[in-house]
Amino acid sequence: MQDIRESRALPEARGVGLVTRGLRAGWLLSLYPEAAEAGGCFRSLSRPRGPGEWRPGTDPALASDRAATEAARRARGKVRRYCATNRLNRLGTLTYRGAGCHDPRQVRADAGRFFRRLRAELPAGRPLPYVWVPEWHPGGHGLHLHFAVGRFIRRSDIETAWGHGFVHIKQLGDVRVGAGALGEARLAARYLGKYIGKALDERRVAGLHRYERAEGHDPRVVHVEGRSREAVIAAASARLGRDPQRVWTSDDTEGWQGPPAVWVQWP
């Protein structure tokens, strides 16, 4: 059994599971071609419990901690794929002057206005995918924003669009030779990933996301099925036309409790 199926115009969170209608046991890999990344696991006919799902006899507090950890991990993965897909290789920071802003809802409203104004300042006709993450500033100075974009934007345009304080932006270049914009985007995602969950869980407001992104630029998903882990990796590599750069398997993790899993990244 080996099959490749593509999800068109579907958010990535809805992609997994579309090919299980036939209830066939085997490996299911979700490939994000533009991000050059894939992840998946072995699916049996029985329904596995989710990583944060409560079980009888489990301490609810521990289950809640696991669920929070898993939510942060999923958020980091989505940001990584979004940055890689859209080659978001420029990282910026927006701060507030004076006593700062301590209202997470106000920060999101200000960020929304910032990106609308920024689009208005830029030449028409080119999309502006972006992703941003809030962070509590140490020392009690409130929140500031870290964001990534994939095109040159004049600092003066950023300052005009923001208007609340200091701004900073730079293209990331501290990557290996040949990594290009994809490697730079992955580095930007690693920086943003450090802020996801960092001190946010203690002060999170219900209903607010850990990060925000421009809509309409989500990664495309291609689903690969196979009888073995090696078969789905080989099929995905053939589609991309190159060998993997990194492969992680659940065999590498002592005490792994979920179904056999794999994660693959290509250069």
Q: What is the pLDDT of residue 19?
A: 44
Which pLDDT tens digit goes with each residue over 19-58?
Answer: 444 446 899 999 999 999 999 999 886 555 555 444 455 5
Q: Domains in the chain and their CATH numbers?
A: 2-73+220-265 (no CATH), 83-213 (3.30.70.1910)
pTM of the model as a whole: 0.83
Mean pLDDT, the chain, whole residue set: 83
Distance CA 25, CA 45 (A): 6
Q: What is the pLDDT of residue 71?
A: 80
Q: What is the pLDDT of residue 20?
A: 40
Q: What is the pLDDT of residue 219?
A: 97
Give the up-direction half-sphere exposure of residue 205: CA atoms within 13 A in the CB hemisphere.
10
Distance (Å) of CA 78 to CA 21, 65, 157, 243, 262: 25, 20, 28, 23, 16
Which stretches of the chain score pLDDT less than 50?
Answer: 1-2, 6-23, 52-55, 199-200
Q: What is the pLDDT of residue 114?
A: 97
Q: What is the pLDDT of residue 127?
A: 92
Q: What is the pLDDT of residue 58?
A: 54
Q: What is the pLDDT of residue 57?
A: 54
